[in-house]
Structure 1
């Protein structure tokens, strides 16, 4: 028989401390530490957008207008796979880890890969069958439509690679590891810039494939990225290891991912519909106005990756906190991330509103296109900060598995743009009033998202 010492008694009575640093570390420094790799990766994304638009600008005005037709669908693929369904994946895995259920997290990762592969095949079928009809509805005609189709056919033939890259990256991010996904995305960006430019413009003695060649750069880069991330997760080097041989189908795990991811997919769909509505309306203002708006909307889409850097960093922090029952900490993380994203994106908006040529001159010197792009930034730029605030809170809500409010805020923005844009166009209003409507809708979206997060109860 042994008698416990006072030290033994204290050790037995003390609760076990959380082993995950994301549950205990200071919020802002940890958030910035996690956001930094994402921000660096987003620099690569920005460089791709700049380089690709520059390549296409050298091909002519019709290709530049054609990419404005395809770009919303390309971004829809990226946003759904990385931000929407990807957020659902990271949320489910981080909540499982926060609750101490590591085996469940590993099995969730395999279910996520299945969802990503099926979604990629769906996008390929949809765009190869209906792509021409979509672009025609947006006002694509003649040479502009044909240029759009050249790019679209090549890009969407490999949509499964895009979905697998973003799904597997979200699995890794759900564990709190932002470094490896960022390294993969930077590598993808470099390959895409080099291959897309070489094949699109016929550099280094290669055939000049035009729009199809530019798209081929993205297809090849994402295929290589998917192979790398799959190898990383299977090799045992990640915080979660995928064991395909021990896989068992669990319906509840699909539900755990889809209850966040599927609903979240409505948000990028709303964002793209907003762009498509404007694209269709502005097509009636002429090719120059459409091309100018395409430049403006491309920067608007690039703000999403910037807010992604902060928002996706908040997802595992919030998910683990909610899984561990630390709801008050989860809310502090959400507001801290939203403030950081809003300030960063807001500064970008103010800069391009004051000096729009910093962006526009990268792509064109055409006076008509330049005038339209300058007008867009002057009116919509001041609303960018509210847009960043709303998008970041949407990601944070994913971590808590409470995305209904932010999705409804996106619906409000869509209705405002759709109804307001139709009324302005039918009234014969000039293009600048449409751009002012875009800025107003961003402000409404940001404030309504913040209100919904404030009023929604998190936790069980």
Structure 2
């Protein structure tokens, strides 16, 4: 009898059949339903980022109790603080998460562990660079921005404390990037939530004083933030180095490997230009509106607070997409990676746009929280009715930015941000030649959001994801 086509059953030495090989454990980020997995990863980020918004509101409240000069000092240093946090978190942290996710998607845990160690070196070096840069050049920068007298002194005091420990937030966001690259969103988000609570409590106590604790003013507020960050760094470091995470940074016997730095920096370094350009765009637009008086500027500020709050939703969804896209790219499942990107983009566009449109129709729901001055309320209503419906495009752009980080193809969304900067600057110059009104500039702001969103989406459409020559058909590797 022929044996052709008959499967041979493996046996051991006792002639008993061996059990069938175990099926590989599925990775939900690569194998699971896209929308459900995305939302499962995003919800902890929504809570954590909302807590960050509460910190901004709380700090503004108790710094205001220190006096108008302290409030003005915070306005001077706030852009530098935001720049530090967005660069270390969303930009370089996204680069770290992307590199680790792509390594895990390819099933290379050893590479992911080596990347994590190099990521910590990058975070340490950039933290030291920010520390030295702000301690040496910070006072001069604050003076150039208009700081004088007590306002400048308070601002310098804050900078000396906060940026004296600049390594701490950089390491915190690097650890968070490592965890997010493995698909662990809950621990970084939980620590962001607890850190926000600590910041509010410690910043208030050290800033305003309580019982036997004297008021340290702006220095105390900065110290409260650093203490909260140190706690988060300690917990994440313990969790990762204890082996509880999917990757453990290879610190002992580490050999510097430049391709590892390149893999992180080709995403993270390019991404850093996005927050830089965003801050510059807001600065230019604020300067343009200043000519119309305090009420118009204040009205725009009320609308900008809504923008900050709503884009946190898009950030949460976008950050969740980074490991999903990165692992899909690492597994050479480019078609799935693109479906993840578009799913995240739709969720961000709809969720941000829905809330913003309701506020545009009923602006007093938001404006009444901040002011009862009729001139400011009128300016806020005008801005929100014009610009708020376009916040959806900001949500889309943020989502495309993070998805592109996961694919290590972030140049397109960064250039889209450049296009928006040029659009605002050129449009503002053109309007200034025609005796414009504030409403004209509000329309310019709204149009710039559409430009940013459309170009960010177009960059994803026209940019090739995955290595050159790689098939776009999905390969299903066995991943743990």
User: Shared topology, TM-score over 0.5?
Assistant: yes
CA contact (8 A) 2:131 2:165 kept: yes
User: Which sits farther off after the overlay, 129-138 or 118-127?
Assistant: 129-138
Q: Pick the aligned partner of 1:179 from 168, 183, 186.
A: 186
Compute the displacement of 1:415 (Å). 0.7
Hey, what does 1:339 align to over in structure 2? 346
User: Which sits farther off after the overlay, 388-397 or 300-309?
Assistant: 300-309
Hey, what does 1:264 align to over in structure 2? 271
Hey, what does 1:6 align to over in structure 2? 7
User: Which sits farther off after the overlay, 215-224 or 182-191?
Assistant: 215-224
1:37 equivalenced with 2:38 (yes/no) = no
Q: Pick the aligned partner of 2:389 from 378, 382, 387.
A: 382
Q: Deviations over 1:62-91 (max 9, x none)?
A: 444443333222211111111111111111
Hey, what does 2:35 align to over in structure 1? 28
> 1: CA distance between counterparts of 2:291 and 2:66?
23
Hey, what does 1:87 align to over in structure 2? 94
What is the SS of the residue equivalent to 2:252?
A: helix
In structure 2, runs of 5+ residues without a counterpart are 11-17, 468-480
Hey, what does 2:475 align to over in structure 1? none
User: Which sits farther off after the overlay, 173-182 or 192-201?
Assistant: 192-201
Q: Deviations over 1:352-386 (max 9, x none)?
A: 43444544554555566555544443332121110
Cα distance, 1:210–1:428 mapped onto 2, change above 3 Å: farther
What is the SS of the residue equivalent to 1:157?
A: helix
Cα distance, 1:61–1:417 mapped onto 2, change above 3 Å: farther
What is the SS of the residue equivalent to 2:98?
A: helix
CA contact (8 A) 2:50 2:312 kept: no
Q: Deviations over 1:410-429 (max 9, x none)?
A: 10111111222344456553
Cα distance, 1:124–1:374 mapped onto 2, change above 3 Å: farther
Q: Pick the structure with more helix per residue.
A: 1
CA contact (8 A) 1:72 1:276 kept: no
> 1: CA distance between counterparts of 2:88 and 2:408?
17
CA contact (8 A) 1:94 1:319 kept: yes
1:312 equivalenced with 2:313 (yes/no) = no
Hey, what does 2:224 align to over in structure 1? 217
CA contact (8 A) 1:346 1:385 kept: yes
What is the SS of the residue equivalent to 1:100?
A: coil
CA contact (8 A) 1:87 1:312 kept: yes
Cα distance, 1:412–1:76 mapped onto 2, change above 3 Å: same
> 2: CA distance between counterparts of 1:426 and 1:155?
42
> 1: CA distance between counterparts of 2:428 and 2:153?
27
CA contact (8 A) 1:386 1:442 kept: yes
Q: Pick the aligned partner of 2:124 from 109, 117, 120.
A: 117
> 1: CA distance between counterparts of 2:75 and 2:428?
18
> 1: CA distance between counterparts of 2:279 and 2:188?
25
CA contact (8 A) 1:94 1:320 kept: yes
CA contact (8 A) 1:65 1:294 kept: no
Cα distance, 1:282–1:70 mapped onto 2, change above 3 Å: farther
Hey, what does 2:104 align to over in structure 1? 97
CA contact (8 A) 2:116 2:250 kept: no
> 1: CA distance between counterparts of 2:453 and 2:61?
31
Compute the displacement of 1:219 (Å). 1.9
Q: Deviations over 1:207-256 (max 9, x none)?
A: 23333333332222112212221121111111112242132211100000
> 2: CA distance between counterparts of 1:149 and 1:280?
23
Hey, what does 2:15 align to over in structure 1? none
Matched residues, number: 458
Q: Pick the aligned partner of 1:50 from 54, 57, 64.
A: 57
TM-score normalised according to structure 2 size: 0.87
Q: Deviations over 1:137-179 (max 9, x none)?
A: 4455555545544443333222211111111101001011111
Runs of 4+ in structure 1 off by over 6 angstroms are: 13-16
Hey, what does 2:77 align to over in structure 1? 70
In structure 1, runs of 5+ residues without a counterpart are none
Hey, what does 1:353 align to over in structure 2? 360
